[in-house]
């Protein structure tokens, strides 16, 4: 059942105006800058312990409420069915059903070949662990250096190919979401970063090790 989702995040506290006064102990709530000069002074403040939302810890962190704009229909009923590991390909087809009250927002979307889909890991509660070993490696990595479904804010991000649109139904290729996954937003995918400028971090090293272990293959 889809309901409004309340996502607790300290993103807003990152986006605050930081006073220049070095003696100042606290930060000030972000205000829109009046001038370019003021905009230059927007600096991420240091992360404070009270900004980190750990289970059982009281916090004044702001909470944001999102509601789904639609739902994923995919061939995957359980997490075990979704291809995983090095070299895993996501070619599965599925649909996103945009709820009627948001369908006007799809105007002109069919001109884009690929979309970003922002969605909710609604079946992976966060355990509080910030470091874990993903199925693509045998070494631990920080949650923000992985695409783990278990994260402080359970947001999923998938790039899909838009095959066609039928009214409020988007037909897609490349879904990795479970059937019934709530969708929060869609945006056109536009990547201007040349492939040679992309660094793949620990994943590239894991792929090299796997290729060395099994010559000619990057499959796990």
Ligand X SMILES: C[S@@+](CC[C@H](N)C(=O)[O-])C[C@H]1O[C@@H](n2cnc3c(N)ncnc32)[C@H](O)[C@@H]1O
Residue 173 contacts by C-beta under 8 Å, 6 or more apart in sequence?
Answer: 91, 92, 93, 160, 161, 163
Cα–Cα distances (Å) from 69 to 104, 112, 176, in that order, read: 11, 19, 18
Query: In a 10 Å sphere around its CB, with 0-12 CB exposed, 13-18 middle and 19+ buried, how is residue 176 labelled?
Result: buried
Q: Which of 19/207 has CB closer to ligand X?
A: 207
Record the tokens describing residue 30, joined without a space: 């972000």
- Total of residues contacting ligand X (CB under 6 A): 16
Query: In the chain, count of helices (H) and strands (E)?
Result: 3, 10
Task: Of 160, 172, 149, 171, give the one whose Cα is nearest residue 78.
Answer: 149
Q: Which of 132/149 has CB closer to ligand X?
A: 149
Of 33-41, 63-71, 76-84, 125-133, which part binds ligand X (CB under 6 A)? 76-84
Q: Which of 61/124 has CB closer to ligand X?
A: 124
156 binds ligand X (CB under 6 A): yes
Site string for ligand X, 79-118 (x = CB under 6 A): x--x-x----------------------------------
Query: Which residue of 27, 124, 153, 218 would you call a contact of ligand X, by CB under 6 A?
Result: 124
Interatomic CA distance for residues 33 and 101, integer angstroms: 34
CB of 122 to ligand X, least distance (A): 5
Question: Applying CB under 6 A, which residues contact ligand X?
Answer: 79, 82, 84, 121-124, 147, 149, 156-158, 176-178, 181
């Amino acid at each position: 059942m889809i309901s409004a989702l309340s996502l607790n995040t300290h993103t807003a506290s990152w986006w605050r105006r930081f006073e220049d006064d070095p003696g100042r102990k606290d930060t000030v709530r972000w205000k829109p800058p009046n001038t370019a000069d003021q905009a230059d002074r927007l600096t991420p403040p240091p992360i404070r312990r009270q900004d980190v939302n750990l289970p059982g810890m009281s916090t004044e962190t702001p909470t944001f409420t999102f509601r789904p704009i639609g739902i994923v229909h995919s061939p995957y009923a359980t997490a075990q069915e979704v291809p995983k590991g090095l070299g895993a390909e996501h070619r599965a087809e599925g649909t996103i059903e945009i709820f009627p009250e948001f369908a006007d927002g799809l105007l002109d979307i069919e001109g884009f070949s690929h979309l970003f889909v922002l969605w909710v890991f609604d079946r992976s509660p966060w355990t509080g662990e910030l470091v874990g070993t993903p199925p693509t490696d045998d070494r631990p990595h920080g949650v923000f250096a992985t695409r783990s479904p278990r994260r402080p804010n359970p947001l999923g991000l998938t790039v899909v190919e838009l095959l066609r649109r039928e009214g409020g139904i988007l037909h897609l290729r490349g879904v990795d979401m479970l059937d019934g996954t709530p969708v929060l937003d869609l945006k056109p995918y536009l990547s201007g970063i040349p492939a040679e400028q992309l660094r793949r971090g620990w994943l590239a090293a894991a792929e090299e090790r796997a290729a060395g272990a099994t010559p000619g293959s990057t499959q796990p």
